[in-house]
A and B are shown apart, each in its own frame.
Chain A
Amino acid sequence: MAADLTRGFTRFAAARLGDTVKPSGPRLPHLPRLDRHQALQIIAVVTALVVLLPLVWLVLRATGAGAEGLAWALRPRTLTILSNSIVLTVTVMAGALAIGLPFAWLTARCQLPWRRFWLIAGLLTMVVPSYLGAVTLLAAFGPRGLLYDLLATVLPLERLPDIRGWFGAWLSITLITWPFIALPARAVLLGSDPALEEAARSLGHGRWQVFRRVTLPLLRPALTGGSLLVALYTLSDFGAVAVMRYNAFTRAIYLQYTSSFDRERAAILALMLILLTLLLLLLERRLGQSRNGARLGAGAPRRLAPLPIGRWRWPALLFFVMIVGLGVALPVAVLGSWLTRRALFNVTPPDMGMLTATTATVSALAALAAGALALPLALLLRRRHSRLSHWLVALTSSGNVLPGIVVALALVFFAARYLPAWYQTVPLLLLGYVTRFLPLAISASRSALEQISPRLEEAARGLGQRPWQVVLRIYVPLARASILAGIALVFLSVMKELPTTLVLSPIGTRTFATHIWSAYSEALLSLIGGPGLLLLGVSALGLIAILLRERQPGAAPGTGVALLRELPRRARHRVGHPCAFALISHDHRPGLPAARQAL
């Protein structure tokens, strides 16, 4: 290359001097081009800047308030918000563990009637957006909800106790977060070497002792990692908390922003929430410990025979009926009842065509943009020696780790100050979506790319392919299924996303999520039925499509059973390393791909 450069320079100099030099070689020398690595790094730098600048601006706004701001942050009323958030997070973690661990154990190890059905039905709770779950729970168990209607026919009741507040928020979020614990735990129960438990049996331990001394320690990283995801989700959830009027950070930030338009105070609250989230990540780093229960040796992998549970199957079935009933059947039933009752009310029905078109368009645009950006970033991550690029990509995942409301506010503040032309436009909304969900697409592509041996790239280069040709001819075809799965995942997430849409969408642009939100705010519940059911239906179909696609023989594991199984372990190794960010944040719905093996 240096020789090329010199030759090019001499010729350039000669041309300047007025000499007419005929090209001596077969082709004109060209300027040294950027190699692929540098091009990828530029993409990474730009992406990281776009994601991070608004957040930096938000932090600057918050800290700019100085002592006055600090005093405001330490007011008892502000501290109540903090304690509310912590109480909710801790109780949701406990609830999710109480559901997730038995669920994992029963579906992985026990002779349960209709095991597959319960597994799939249970996983469907993941497609219910938190605001929809909360609205339907409220409609069913609220003071004058459906349960009241039912009971009032036989009992002289005035009203039922109000579930709004902590209990309602706790129930709504617990019902959708327990799979974060159940799925990794189940993967460990299925994937760990059965010989470990057999060894303990042969060393004189009974079943319960084996569980306590071997199984539980093996599960610990999965439970820790899962609990962390639950906690992150709880802290960042906006929908359920807002519907249930529980004054946690996300709701308080939104109220501060909408009611008083006090950006500085909203920024202070957002900063507090960011710090809390970072604290949680640090905590995980301290708690996590390396456990590797996977089998080392050769030989056919074996599974433990399912345990007969005898009479215990009745309480177990009741447990599953409760979870599936509250988490899946109830939202569907309530939405269905609204759909049929709509005629009773004299309100204009929503323009479903328009709503669907808008939702589909913004979701598709955001998903394609994220997919296109994810590929180069995932390729960059293949180069393990490049620390800088790992940092950059990890930093981009902060858009996904941090609560949606915070990210959206940061963008609004930033745009209002520096990009007034973008303020209240669809491009800004799309930018918000990409910021939020790019890491989903990255991790999908990444885990598939990691399966591809570097020898293939070397072979292709040896056969005369340029780097970009290698990408198009080797990586893209081999990772296609996963790249598409990642795009689909972003599509589904955008379709359901409430806080980003609520804050960033231009007036008049309505998606399903914002439509449901405003119908709820105006107490026009009957308008929720159609869009709500459509949202659930598309999400469920999307989930099934992604799972089926990944099940095809030969398809590289996409969004990653392997990744999920290793999540807690890898997170520990790399929390110090920024990749842990990407891994932990991996998704707010991380279990989805792991469900593949379940099907």
Chain B
Amino acid sequence: MTIALACQQLGKRFDTVLALTDFNLSLQAGQLLALLGPSGCGKTTTLRLIAGFERPDSGEIHIEGRVVAGPQGFVPPENRRVGMVFQDYALFPHLDVAGNIAFGLKGGREERRQRTESLLSLVGLEGFGARSLQGLSGGQQQRVALARALAPEPALVLLDEPFSNLDTHLRVRLRAEVRAILRATGTTAIFVTHDQEEALSVADQVAVMSAGRMLQVAEPWRLYHEPVSRAVAELVGESNFLPAEAEGRVARCVLGELDLRQPASGPVTLLLRPEAIQLTGAGQVRIEEVQFFGDHQRLRLRLADDTGLTAQTDSRRRFQGGQGVGITVNGPVLALPA
């Protein structure tokens, strides 16, 4: 496997604001990486550094083994072979659909035309070439932007919050489409998002960022079930944290003795995902609130010692606020540093 992108110890500062510090990332060719984090955490800055719109203050960026930014020099964006899909698409308003897609193409007229045609059909916009942008829906504009970025066969495609301008329904559909297109073309891509569901469902690898730092890079399953820190667990999915005393493969906490995924010792914090908490018959745990979603429901629980927990179950059983239930924990749990 070849490494498509490597960032080493990147740092970037805007005036007094530290946008990025000690940022490391490496991405294998053909993979799709999601850059996940709250707004203002440095995701977009990372993309702009990779694309060459900003210069890093320190560190190096390698694209396909070539240094494109670092102490030795700086390759301008037009020579990086990095395609970009902007949040607002940034389609050229003075060109039609085909003109936008062909913008970055070199070669003869016929060659460009054929490439444009094949891209149009790749993104499902056959026959739209001569259309002006005004008539396009948000989803269609998005696809034109993707086709334009893919046209020059870039080494890497960057997508900045690609789905944020679309309504929920369309967003879900387009995610799948974009993923399929990137897979079909074997494109290496990074997309920025603050939507964890989007990151987990679309990407091969998810990088979690916070306050200009990279917290963890992992495949979605691992990230969800084995976050390296409480901060990552909080950014990805819902969590219950319980203080506990670990010894080997067991930890003792307010819920009694629980099995651990990995051995640990001393004071730890246990991570219990809501769906790991199972509700049994009547018991001492009081249900404070029920949020019903149709396909599942989420319950706010209060233990006898006043600890609050969130549990999630399927929606078949009917619960009411104030009801008393018993709980058990399903499967081993993760121990995080206290």
Among candidates B80, B88, B92, B93, residue contacting A202 with C-beta atoms closer than 8 Å: B80
The answer for the CA separation of A196 and B94 in the assembled complex, in Å, is 11
* Interface flag for B89 (CB, 8 Å): yes
The yes or no answer to B319 lying at the interface (CB within 8 A) is no
- Chain B residues whose C-beta falls within 8 Å of the C-beta of A297 in the assembled complex: 86-89, 164-165
B84–A198 contact, CB under 8 A? yes
**Interface stretch of the complex, out of B71-79, B267-275, B276-284:** B71-79
CA distance A200 to B103 in the complex (A): 8
In the complex where A218-B93, A291-B94, A293-B93 touch, is A299 in contact with B78 (Cβ < 8 A)?
A: no
Q: Which of B278-337 contact A (CB under 8 A)?
A: none
Using A203-B104, A204-B106, A218-B93 as known contacts, say yes or no to A296 and B80 having CB atoms under 8 A apart: no
Contact with A along B92-127 (1 / 0, CB 8 A): 111100000001101000000000000000000000
A214:B92 contact, CB within 8 angstroms = yes
Q: How far is the CB of A415 from chain B (nearest CB, A)?
A: 49
Residues on A with beta carbons closer than 8 Å to the beta carbon of B90: 193, 195-196, 198-199, 295
- Answer yes or no: B148 CB below 8 A from chain A CBs: yes
Whether the pair A205, B161 counts as a contact (CB closer than 8 A) is no
Smallest CB gap from B138: residue in A: A296
How many A-B contacts if CB must be within 8 Å? 88
CA distance A201 to B165 in the complex (A): 23
Does B88 contact A201, Cβ atoms closer than 8 Å?
A: no
Neighbour of B103 across the interface among A198, A203, A206, A293, CB < 8 A: A203
A205 is contacted by which of B78, B93, B165 (Cβ under 8 Å)?
B78
How far does the alpha carbon of A213 sit from the alpha carbon of B78 in the complex, in Å?
14
Asked if B93 and A195 sit within 8 Å, CB to CB, the answer is no
Q: Given the complex of chains A and B, what is the CA–CA distance between A203 and B161 in angstroms?
A: 19
Interface residue? A217 (CB, 8 A) = yes
Within 8 A of A (CB), among B15-59: 51-53
- Per-residue contact bits, chain A 276-307, to B (CB 8 Å; 1 contact, 0 not): 00000000000001111101111100000000
Which residue on chain A has the smallest CB distance to residue B151?
A203
The complex places the Cα of A193 from the Cα of B90 at a distance, in Å, of: 7
Alpha-carbon distance A130/B253, docked complex (angstroms): 87
With A204-B104, A299-B87 given, is the CB distance from A196 to B92 under 8 Å? yes
What is the CB-to-nearest-CB distance from B134 to chain A, in angstroms, rounded to a whole number?
8
A418 CB to nearest B CB, Å: 50
Interfacial chain B residues near A193, Cβ < 8 Å: 88, 90
The complex places the Cα of A193 from the Cα of B92 at a distance, in Å, of 10
Say whether A198 contacts B88, CB under 8 Å: no
> Is B212 in contact with chain A by the CB < 8 A criterion?
no
Q: Which residues of B contact A206 (CB under 8 A)?
A: 76, 78
Instruction: Give the number of chain A interface residues (Cβ < 8 Å).
Output: 27
A195, A203, A296, A298: the one within 8 Å of B152 (CB): A203
Range, interface on chain B? 20 to 34
Q: Check A199–B106 contact: CB distance below 8 A.
A: no
Q: Could you say which residues of chain A place their CB within 8 Å of the CB of B141? A: 296
Say whether B83 contacts A203, CB under 8 Å.
yes
- Taking CB atoms, residues of chain B closer than 8 Å to A196 are 90, 92
A199 contacts B161, C-beta separation under 8 Å: no
Q: How far, in angstroms, from A289 to B88 measured CA to CA in the complex?
A: 22
Mark out the residues of chain B between 118 and 164 whose CB falls within 8 Å of any chain A CB in the assembled complex: 134, 141, 148-149, 151-152, 161, 164
Most chain A CB atoms below 10 A, which of B51, B79, B92: B92
**Would A201 and B86 be within 8 Å (CB), given that A217-B94, A218-B94 are in contact?**
no
Q: Is B208 located at the chain interface by the 8 A CB criterion?
A: no
Q: Are B106 and A298 in contact (CB under 8 A)?
A: no
For chain B, what secondary structure do more than half of its interface residues adopt (helix, strand, loop), or is it mixed?
Answer: loop
Contact pattern, A 454-485, Cβ under 8 Å of B = 1, otherwise 0: 00000000000000000000000000000000
Does the CB pair A198–B53 fall under 8 Å?
A: yes
Interface residues of A in 186-220 (CB under 8 A from B): 193, 195-196, 198-206, 213-214, 217-218, 220
Partner of A199 from B79, B80, B86 at Cβ < 8 Å: B86
Is there an interface contact between A202 and B82, defined as CB atoms closer than 8 Å?
yes
The residues of B that contact A217 with a CB separation of less than 8 Å are: 92, 94-95
Q: Are B148 and A203 in contact (CB under 8 A)?
A: yes
A298–B89 CA distance with the chains assembled, in angstroms: 11
Q: Are B77 and A202 in contact (CB under 8 A)?
A: yes
Give the CA-CA distance A492 to B46 in the complex, in Å.
51
A203 to B93 CA separation, bound complex (whole angstroms): 16
Q: Which residue of B lies closest to A221 (CB)?
A: B94
* Residue of A with least CB distance to B164: A298
Bound state CA distance, A296 and B142, in angstroms?
12
Question: Whole-angstrom distance from the CB of B120 to the nearest CB of chain A?
Answer: 17
B233 to chain A, nearest CB (A): 28
B84: chain A residues at CB < 8 Å are 198-199, 202
- The interface residues of chain A lying within 8 Å CB-to-CB of B164 are 297-298
Q: Select from chain B the residue with minimum beta-carbon distance to A216.
A: B94
* Candidates B76, B86, B93; contact of A291 at CB < 8 Å: B93
- Bound-complex Cα distance A232 to B82 (A): 47
Contacts of A291 in B (CB 8 A): 93-94
Q: Which residues of B contact A292 (CB under 8 A)?
A: 93
Residues of A close to B82: CB separation below 8 A: 202
Neighbouring B residues of A199 by C-beta, 8 Å = 84, 86, 90, 92, 148
CB nearest neighbor in B for A199: B90
Asked if A201 meets B94 with Cβ closer than 8 Å, knowing A296-B89, A297-B165, the reply is no
Chain B window 165-176, contacts with chain A (Cβ cutoff 8 Å), 1 for yes, 0 for no? 100000000000
Closest CB in chain B relative to A201 CB, distance in Å: 4
Given known A-B contacts A217-B94, A291-B94, A297-B165, A201 and B78 have beta carbons under 8 A apart:
yes
A-B contact pairs, 19 of them (CB 8 A): A193-B88, A199-B90, A200-B92, A200-B103, A201-B53, A203-B103, A203-B149, A206-B76, A217-B92, A217-B94, A217-B95, A290-B93, A290-B134, A291-B93, A291-B94, A295-B90, A296-B141, A297-B164, A299-B161
Q: 7 closest A-B pairs (Cβ-Cβ)?
A: A203-B104, A297-B88, A195-B90, A217-B94, A201-B77, A195-B86, A202-B84
Which residue numbers of A lie inside 8 Å of B, CB to CB?
193, 195-196, 198-206, 213-214, 217-218, 220, 289-293, 295-299
A-B contacts besides A200-B103, A203-B151, A291-B93, 13 pairs, CB < 8 Å: A199-B92, A201-B53, A202-B80, A202-B82, A202-B149, A203-B83, A203-B103, A204-B78, A205-B78, A218-B93, A290-B134, A297-B164, A298-B164
